[in-house]
A and B are shown apart, each in its own frame.
Chain A
Amino acid sequence: MPVVKADLQACQGYANCVVGATDYFDLDDDGIVVVLRTEVPETDRLRVTEAARSCPVTALVVEDA
């Protein structure tokens, strides 16, 4: 199953991912992404990949595990 990978060093807290897939992403108090679910079922792949690609600093990718 595809998985979400986050680069916590790169994250700048823009929150585009939260808007794109609010059930997969949140921000902590310091504005760093929290991945709520790492496994992405095929039915969510398009939506979660688009949310990951909406990150302005490429901190998120959806990869085949």
Chain B
Amino acid sequence: MSDATVIVGSSIGGVRTAQSLRLEGYTGDIVLVGEETELPYDKPPLSKAVLAGTAEESSIRLLTGGDADAARIRLLLGHRAIGVDIAGRTLELEGHEPVGFDNLVIATGASARPSPWGQRPGIHVLRTLEDARRLRADLLSGGHLAVIGAGFIGAEAAATARSLGLDVTVIDPLPVPMSRIFNPEIGQWFGDLHRSNGVRTIFGTGVESLEGEQGSFVLRLTNGERLNASVVLVGIGAVPNDAWLASSGLLVDNGVVLDEFCRAVDAPAVYAVGDVARWRHLTHGEDTRIEHWTNAVEQASCVAHNITHPGAPRAYTPTEYVWSDQHDWKIQVVGRVGGGASHTVIGHPEAHGRFAALYTADGTSLRGAAIVNWPKALVACRRGMATGITVQELRDKLESQLDPQPVVAS
């Protein structure tokens, strides 16, 4: 049977879908379309080792031309998808003739939310390799970096810039950093982490205007303060790349809307994976879109299974997982944390140099966990989420492992 699967988006979600299709024994044609001319690369190091200059760009390649040939994956790079004809099963591309498909996988990810304070040299966002190159070049000139937004990417870039010797200020309208994700007690510790590493934090304050040029920006803040900066990074979240589907007739609502098998609700030969996918998560009972690396990988393998096993599709019901490296903290978040859930904390950043916060919605079962610098707790939480451990059981287990490791006060 001759068959063709066309995958749009050549980053982690798209590449892993192609590789998993071959692993599942898919024998049809696979075409991987990407807007960027770069060979597929990975994003997490862009705010960490690549920005710091401790990892080579070559270390983040997801696929070389040779790998693609060996797996019979046809790379169609440097062409942006601009539309899809669902009934005619063709994908329309910029600068290339349309490509026909039997199955289409949308893996176009997300883009950095653009700076509302204008775009000019010295004002950065961080999403692509080119963004990271440009930001790094500016950081190497030294000076003062102002980071707007204390989310994962802003916080990581702030930590990296400190390691490069810059003065760094992080500004966020939330009074407690990360409090959209965690409860305030834990969020407060993140603030402490930045300050103890020499980052100035201005929380509970917004940016009213950003004037001046590279090397001499002036940020006017909502608390009346004026802040000078040589470089600015705007880290205020991401938006799914779904606008190109506007004329397709596919249901798009902050991402491509999918059923529990990750198929478009209105076109069963169309799937989506990764940051652009909003699918019906049966155990959460709601439509869910996740902007984390592991989700893109797991969803890719589920979609590859569902394309190759149309008679026995698998519902996609993952447990969320994200990591973040900030200063000397390895932060890992499993499942769902914060919100209305109550929590219990084992360990303490200063007394033990590690901690785990366990979250429960019903007082008994584990709903999620945030873990810092504690690998055994991470494994216990990830295994426990899979087997349905209670918070009490997990607490007892972790407390017994918590040998005090006093950290010398700095």
Contacts and interface: CB of A to CB of B under 8 A. Distances in A.
Interface centre among B20, B297, B332, B375 (most CB of A within 10 A): B375
Contacts of A15: 332, 375, 378-379, 382
A50 interface: yes
Interface string A18-50: 110010001111110000000000000010011
Contacts of B16: 53
B330 A56 contact: no
Given A53-B16, A56-B293, A27 B376 contact: yes
B312 interface: no
A50 B301 contact: yes
B227 to A, nearest CB: 34
Interface in B243-290: none
A18 B382 contact: yes
B378 A16 contact: no
Nearest to A13: B375
B294 A46 contact: no
Given A18-B383, A54-B298, A27 B378 contact: yes
A56 B378 contact: no
Contacts of A28: 375
B19 interface: yes
Contacts of A49: 23
B323 A14 contact: yes
Given A14-B323, A31-B375, A56 B382 contact: no
B379 A26 contact: yes
B329 interface: no
A53 B16 CA distance: 8
Contact of A14 (B19, B298, B332): B332
B301 A27 contact: no
Interface in B8-54: 16, 19-20, 23-24, 42, 44
Interface in B192-246: none
B386 interface: yes
Nearest to A45: B23
Interface string B310-340: 0000000001010100000010100000000
Contacts of B293: 56
Given A29-B376, A56-B323, 14 more contacts: A16-B294, A18-B379, A18-B382, A18-B383, A19-B319, A19-B321, A19-B383, A22-B386, A46-B23, A50-B20, A50-B23, A53-B19, A56-B293, A56-B294
Interface of B: 16, 19-20, 23-24, 42, 44, 293-294, 297-298, 301, 319, 321, 323, 330, 332, 375-376, 378-379, 382-383, 386
26 contacts: A12-B330, A15-B332, A15-B375, A15-B378, A15-B379, A16-B321, A18-B379, A18-B383, A19-B383, A19-B386, A27-B375, A27-B376, A27-B378, A31-B330, A31-B375, A31-B378, A46-B24, A50-B20, A50-B23, A53-B16, A53-B20, A53-B297, A54-B297, A56-B44, A56-B294, A56-B323
Interface of A: 12-16, 18-19, 22, 26-31, 46, 49-50, 53-54, 56
